[in-house]
Chains A and B, each alone.
Chain A
Amino acid sequence: MAPPEAAAAQSAPPGPDGPGDPAAPPAPVLEAVGVSKRFPGVVALDDVSFTLRAGEIHALVGENGAGKSTLIKILTGVHRPDEGELRLGGEPVAFHRPHEAQQAGISTIYQEVNLVPLMSVARNIFLGREPRTRLGLVDFRRMHRETAELLGGFGITADPRRPLHTLGIGTQQMVALARAVSVRARVVVMDEPTSSLEPREVETLFRVTGDLHARGISLVYVSHRMDELYRICDRVTVLRDGRLVHTGDLADTDRVRLVSMMLGRELARVRKEAAEGHDDGRTPAAEPVLTATGLSRRHLLDDIGLDLRPGEVLGLGGLLGSGRTETAKALAGALPLDGGEITVGGRRLRRISSAAAIRAGISLLPEDRKAEGIVPGLSVRENIVLAALPRLSRFGFISRRKQDRVVDIFMKRLRIKAAGPEQKVGELSGGNQQKVLLARWLCLEPRVLLLDEPTRGIDVGAKAEVQTLIDELAAEGLAVLLISSELEELVEGADRIVVLRAGSVAGELTGDDVTEGGLLTVLAETAPDAVPQPAPEAGDPPDAPAQAEAEAEAEDAPGAEGEPDGVPDPRKEDPR
C-alpha cells in the first residue's frame, strides 16, 4: 500500500516539463503511441496510448476483451501493431519476435507460468543463454550457483536442480520472475501474477516487486484484485473494449470510480437508475431446486454455498478471476472438487460428473463457446441434439423425424438464423452459435440452467433476444444462474445477486439492493484478508500472520526505497 503522500507527491500538479524540474514526471521508459490492432472480425486495440515511466509500478486494468492482453503482447513483441508505434527510452522500436523485446530489456511474466515444467529450475532460468565452459559446453555448476544466488536474493531456497513442476505455483512464479530479472530487464510486465498464489506467496511476490522497484525497474502490473493494485501500484491505465478510458495516478482514483470505469457504467447514471428500482413480476418458488454447500477447490473455490429456486434468475457477480466460472462448472459436475455437496430436488448428487449433473437436470452453457461448446464441423441440427441423442433415438438408431421436430421447434423459438438445420455451426455468427448451444440444453428440459456469459461476443440484436429468452425461461419455472461481466445485464436480468471475490462469497444483494450502485460497492470493497487494518467483516483467523506481514511490509518498503521524497530517480536512489 503506497502511502498516499508518496503517491500524491508523484502526481503533483503537472508543472513545467523542464528536465531539471524535480516535480516533473520521470522520463518514460516504454511508450505505446496511438496503437491499434485488428484481428479478423475484431478490433482488439483502437488508438491506445500507454506510457510507462521510469521506476514506476503501473497498473493495467480492464475486463475481458478490454485489450489488456493484446497491449501486453504488443509491448512484448508477440504481436505487431497495425498502427502506431512503440518507443523505448524515447526511440521508436519495432519488435518482430518476443526474443527481440527481451533483448531490449522487456521481460514478461504470464498468468499461467510460462516455463517448461519438466526442466530444472536452473535450466529454465538460463534457457537460451546458458553459461558455457571453455569447451563450449553448458556450465551447470555456474548455472546452479547463479540460480541459487538469484533466488536467494528473493528470499527463496529451492534446489536449482529440481524439475520446475515439483515446486509450488508460487515458487514457480518466482522462478519466472528471476528469469525475467536476470536478463537485465528494464521493464517487467506481470500479467495477473497472483491469480493462482496463496496469500503467503503473494507476500513474497510483493517483497520481490518492491525490490525490483527499488532497483529502478519499471513494472506493468495487470490484476483484477483492487487491494493489490492500491497496495503496490503508482499509476493506473484503464482499458475498455479496446479503447483507452483513463490514465492517471492511482491515489486520485477511488475504488468505486475505478471499477465503474472498467465496467463502463457512469456513476451518476448508476445512482440515478438505482433510485428507480425494477420489478419483472416473477414469483420464485419458496423451495430451492438446487442447493450447494461448501464447494471448495484449492486455489479456485473456497467454501461456496448458494441455492437456486425455480422461477428465479440468480445473478453471480464478481470481477474476472473471482471464481464465477469455476462455481458454475462445479455445479455442472465439470470441475473436480476437494469438498462440497450439491443437492438437486432434494437428492444429493453422489458422483460428481457432467453426465450425472445432466441426468439430475443441471445444464451449463459454458463461457468458452468455441473450446467447450460447439462442435464446429457438425451441423446446426446435430449440435442441438448432441446431448439429447439417446432420447431422440430408438435402439441406438437416430430418428431423423424426432430430431427434425425438436430442431424445428427450437430454431423457431430461438430464432436461430442459419441457411438451414444442415448448415455447419462453425459458419454461423457468434450469436447464433450461442442460441444453438442454448437449444442444446433446452431440449434436455433441464430444471437448472447455468449460463456463463451468455451474451459475450454476440451482436446487440441477438443479445436482446437472449436476454428476453432468459426472462421467459425463468417465468416458465426454470431456475437460472446468470454470470455476466456486464453490470447492466446482471442487474436487469437477475432477481438476486451473489457476489464472489477471490473464490468465496463476498456478499448477496436482494430485492431493492439489486442495483448497479449496490453491486459496484460490493465489488470495490476491500477483501478482508488483505487489509492492514482490522477488517470490517472480521477477518478469518488463519490469515492473521499474513496480515501482520502485510502491515510490516507496508511500513517497511517505502522507507527502504527512499520513495517519499517524490520522484524516484533510479540513478540517485538505488541504495547500492
Chain B
Amino acid sequence: MTSFALPRGLDRPRLADALQRYGVYAAVLALLVFNGIFTDHFLTADNLRTQLVQVSPVVIVALGMALVIGTEGVDLSVGSTMALSGALLPLYLGYGLLPSLLVALLAGVVVGLVNGSLVSLVGLQPIVATLALFVGGRGLALVIADGQLKQIENTDLLSLGTDSVLGIPVVVLIAGVLAAMVAGLVQRTTFGRQLVAVGGNRRAAALAGLPVRRVLIGVYVICGVLASLAGVLATARLTASDPSSLGNLMELSAITAVVVGGTPLTGGSVRVLGTVFGALLMQLLHATLVTHDLHDSTAQMVQAGIILVAVYVARERRAR
C-alpha cells in the first residue's frame, strides 16, 4: 500500500496516469514475486490452476460490466442473472446440454433487454434500472427452482466444469476466449467503437448520428448474456444449481475488477486486459492473505482500500 503514496514534487498527474494504466499489472506481478519468495507451494501449476478456475466466472462477468461501465453505466443485476440462469439450467437438461444452455443464455438476453430499455428508452439512471432486476431476479430464480438446491447429473455439463484441454481447465479457456472476443469487440467492431464514443461524450455521439439507444441496449444485453454464461459455468463447477447463493455479491466483485483494472467510472474507455488483471489481482490478493493466515476480514478491508485508491487515482487524472 505504501507504494501508492505519491511523493511531493513529482509530476502527480503523469504518475497517476501511469498508475491507472499499468498499476494493476505491476501489482499482479509484485504479488506473484512476493509469493514466489515467501509462500511455499504458491507458484505451482496446481495452485495457479486453482486460482484461475476460481477467478474465471468473475472475469466473465467483469468483461460485461466493463462494457457497461464504458458507457457510463453500471449493472447491479449480474449476480441475480447468474442465479437465474443457474436455476433455469437443470429444467431443460433432459433435452440435452445445448437446449438448456440456450434457455439459460436467453434469460441473460431478456434481463439485458429490460435493463437496456429502462436505461436508454425510459431514461432511468443505470443504478435504479438494474436494481429492480437485482431484487427481482434472484427471487425469480428461487421461485423457478422452488428454493431447492438441485444436483446436476448431466455429464456434458459437469465436464464443462472439470475437464481440461492440454492441462488448462475448460472454464479458464472459455474465460480467455471471451476476453479475447470482448477485446476484439471493443477494438475492432463498429459497435465497440460506438460504445466507447457514447460513453466518452454522449451528446457528441448523438450529434454525430450514432445509434445511441441501440448501442446502450446492446451493451446491457451482452452484459446479461455474459453473466448468464458465468452462471452456467459456476453451476457446472459446483455440480449443483444453487440459486440462493450463486452469484451473491458478484456485482461488487465485477465492479471492483473493472475499476481496479483502470476503466474509469466516467465512461469513454474500456480496458479489457486491465479488467482481467483486476479480477486476477483481487483473487491472488485473497489467496495470499489467506495463506498467510490473514482472514476474510483483512481481505475485505484491503479490497475496500484498493477500490478507493483506484477511483481516487482515476479522479486525479480526470481533473488534469
Contacts and interface: CB of A to CB of B under 8 A. Distances in A.
B25 interface: no
A358 B209 CA distance: 7
Given A375-B201, A396-B190, A398-B193, A354 B209 contact: yes
A374 interface: yes
Contacts of B203: 371-372
Given A375-B197, A376-B200, A393-B190, A334 B205 contact: no
A189 interface: no
A375 B268 CA distance: 8
Contact of B208 (A371, A376, A387, A393): A387
A364 interface: yes
Interface string A172-199: 0000000000000000000000000000
B261 to A, nearest CB: 16
Nearest to B202: A375
Interface in B63-102: none
Give the interface SS of chain B, mostly helix, strand, loop or mixed: helix
Contacts of A390: 190
B211 interface: yes
A355 B214 CA distance: 13
A63 to B, nearest CB: 24
Interface centre among A355, A389, A390 (most CB of B within 10 A): A389
A98 B190 CA distance: 47
Contacts of B194: 389
B204 interface: yes
Contact of B211 (A355, A373, A440): A355
Given A386-B197, A389-B190, A397-B189, A377 B204 contact: no
B269 interface: yes
A366 interface: yes
Contact of A354 (B188, B189, B207): B207
B207 A386 contact: no
A390 B209 CA distance: 11
A364 B207 contact: yes
A382 B197 CA distance: 9
Given A355-B209, A387-B209, A378 B190 contact: no
Contacts of A372: 201, 203-204, 207
Contacts of B206: 334, 354
B197 A440 contact: no
B207 A378 contact: no
B42 interface: no
B210 interface: yes
Contacts of A440: 208
Nearest to A389: B190
Contacts of B205: 375, 386
Given A354-B208, A440-B208, A378 B197 contact: yes
Given A355-B209, A377-B268, A397 B190 contact: yes
A236 interface: no
A451 interface: no
Contacts of A32: none
A332 interface: yes
Contacts of B233: none
Given A355-B211, A387-B209, A375 B204 contact: yes
Nearest to A334: B207
A377 B206 CA distance: 17
Contacts of B189: 393, 396-398
A374 B191 CA distance: 18
Interface centre among A334, A371, A374, A386 (most CB of B within 10 A): A386
Nearest to B196: A378
A377 B269 contact: yes
Interface in B193-250: 193-194, 196-197, 200-201, 203-211
Interface string A357-383: 111000010100001111111100010
Contacts of B207: 332, 334, 354, 364, 366, 372-373
A378 B192 CA distance: 12
Interface centre among B197, B201, B206 (most CB of A within 10 A): B201
A386 B190 contact: no
Given A354-B206, A355-B209, A366-B207, A376 B201 contact: yes
A357 B193 CA distance: 22
Interface in A31-82: none
Contacts of B209: 354-355, 357-359, 387
B196 A397 contact: no
B181 to A, nearest CB: 12
Contacts of B210: 355, 386-387, 389
B201 A398 contact: no
A389 B197 CA distance: 11
A350 to B, nearest CB: 16
A390 B196 CA distance: 15
A224 B110 CA distance: 53
Contacts of A355: 209-211
A223 B204 CA distance: 29
6 contacts: A334-B206, A366-B204, A377-B269, A386-B205, A387-B210, A389-B190
Interface of B: 188-191, 193-194, 196-197, 200-201, 203-211, 268-269
Interface of A: 332, 334, 354-355, 357-359, 364, 366, 371-378, 382, 386-387, 389-390, 393, 396-398, 440
Given A373-B207, A375-B196, A389-B193, 15 more contacts: A334-B207, A354-B206, A354-B207, A357-B209, A359-B209, A366-B204, A373-B204, A378-B196, A378-B197, A382-B197, A386-B193, A387-B208, A393-B189, A393-B190, A398-B188
**Shortest Cβ-Cβ A-B pairs, 7 listed:** A358-B209, A375-B200, A387-B208, A355-B209, A377-B268, A375-B201, A393-B190
